[in-house]
Chains A and B, each alone.
Chain A
Amino acid sequence: ETGVTQTPRHLVMGMTNKKSLKCEQHLGHNAMYWYKQSAKKPLELMFVYNFKEQTENNSVPSRFSPECPNSSHLFLHLHTLQPEDSALYLCASSQGLTEDYGYTFGSGTRLTVV
């Protein structure tokens, strides 16, 4: 596989459920990101990891919990979500934080909270 792969593609969960989103990149990149994309809103940066260390948390509610066990894998653990958390969650990677421009995005996980 190449690029950035996200699973699952679609997820429906109740507000009391616990689920996890997975992202895997096969590009040898060192930085990975979680973004939230809601209808009619700009992309919102959620978390940044560089060499598996978290470098940024953009005031994301604690019901979203990221995990980066190595530079190739990134998870987003979800619990007690709200309906307004329904959105497309995009994972992205880049070679580094400052050396170049252009993320490689995954296709996203379409999350619906019921």
Chain B
Amino acid sequence: QKEVEQDPGPLSVPEGAIVSLNCTYSNSAFQYFMWYRQYSRKGPELLMYTYSSGNKEDGRFTAQVDKSSKYISLFIRDSQPSDSATYLCAMSVARGNNRLAFGKGNQVVVIP
């Protein structure tokens, strides 16, 4: 079983819709969870990070972590064409950048 599972998509939605992305994982010791956004021909950029279970909201973005189900989600409200990108989940056991396990990334296309 892969450590982090993420459906690569692509996921196409109309502008204004809610985008829902998720990752599942197998290592119950993961405590730090991140979402990165990667535009075409660019490197990933950190979008959200959360520690342990719960929700975190930042503008139109909401990150959720359910450790009991080993499941994390990212929601994008009122999606815009500028949200078209690949979204990668990442997680780690301990606080430390060099221990991140990444998902494959999920390509999102927001259609005007």
Contact = CB atoms under 8 A, between A and B. Distances in A.
Contacts of B34: 101-102
A33 B34 CA distance: 18
A106 B98 contact: no
Contacts of A72: none
A11 to B, nearest CB: 14
B41 interface: yes
Contacts of B4: 42
B43 A107 contact: yes
Interface string A75-114: 0000000000000001010100110111111111000000
A33 B98 contact: yes
A40 to B, nearest CB: 6
Given A106-B43, A107-B41, A98 B100 contact: no
Contacts of B104: 40-42
A31 interface: yes
B: interface residue count bin: 20 to 34
Interface in A1-55: 4, 31, 33, 40-43, 45, 48, 55
A43 B102 contact: yes
B49 interface: yes
A4 B98 contact: no
Interface residues of A, number: 25
Contacts of B17: none
Contacts of A33: 97-98
B43 A31 contact: no
A105 B45 contact: yes
Nearest to A50: B98
Contact of A31 (B32, B88, B97, B100): B97
B8 A4 contact: no
Contact of B43 (A4, A40, A97, A102): A4
B36 to A, nearest CB: 8
B60 interface: no
15 contacts: A31-B98, A42-B101, A42-B102, A42-B103, A42-B105, A43-B102, A90-B43, A97-B97, A98-B94, A101-B49, A104-B45, A105-B43, A105-B44, A105-B45, A108-B42
